[in-house]
């Protein structure tokens, strides 16, 4: 791995360069001060989505969801658990497909919830349907070379 990674701030869209050795030390955006790898699910707008999926050096798992979708709402706490487990080496984010239908169409989303794993500008894998945290973590680990993490509780 290189000495630093590029990460897009979900709050302001700024690209940040973070030393790999500092990923677990709660790095913050140099512009707005928002946390970059704190294990929380980031809520993306269209610009941050496009920039992060194209440019980020860490794997990014995006949950494409909508507020009217029952399975999406039911999976939200499980997705949050997975985010805590996978941090700081994988970031998890969500995009509201109702607010951003053009991105949903461009990404080829046919049903929600839909999870797409991106890494260094390309789609790595997809997973459809609501899943428990353990399935989400296993999915990410099976498609990335991440350090080992404790099991999901």
Nearest CA among 129, 111, 122 for reference residue 144:
122
Beta-sheet strand order (sheet of 122-128): 42-43, 91-96, 60-65, 114-119, 122-128
Sequence-separated (6 or more) residues with CB below 8 Å from residue 7? 15, 16, 17, 18, 27, 36, 37, 52, 56, 57, 58, 91
Q: Given the residues 9, 12, 32, 69, select the one marked as catalytic.
A: 69
**Strand, coil or helix: 57:** coil
Please say whether the beta carbons of 92 and 118 come within 8 A.
no
Q: Given the residues 9, 12, 29, 72, select the one marked as catalytic.
A: 72
The separation between CA 102 and the C-alpha centre of its own chain, rounded to angstroms, equals: 19
- Answer yes or no: 29 catalytic: no
Residue 23 tokens read as 């990923």
Active site (catalytic) residues: 69, 72
């Amino acid at each position: 791995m290189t000495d630093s990674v590029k990460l897009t701030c979900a709050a302001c869209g700024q690209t940040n360069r973070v030393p790999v050795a500092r990923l677990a030390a709660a790095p913050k955006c140099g512009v707005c001060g928002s946390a970059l790898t704190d294990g929380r699910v980031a809520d993306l707008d269209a610009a941050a989505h496009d920039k992060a999926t194209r440019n980020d050096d860490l794997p990014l798992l995006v949950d494409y969801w909508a507020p009217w979708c029952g399975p999406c709402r039911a999976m939200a706490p499980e997705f949050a658990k997975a985010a805590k487990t996978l941090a700081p080496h994988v970031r998890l984010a969500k995009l509201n497909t109702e607010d951003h239908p053009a991105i949903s169409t461009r990404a080829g989303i046919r049903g929600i919830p839909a999870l797409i794993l991106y890494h260094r500008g390309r789609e790595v894998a997809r997973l459809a349907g609501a899943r428990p945290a353990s399935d989400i973590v296993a999915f990410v680990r099976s498609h990335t070379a991440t350090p080992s993490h404790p099991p999901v509780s």
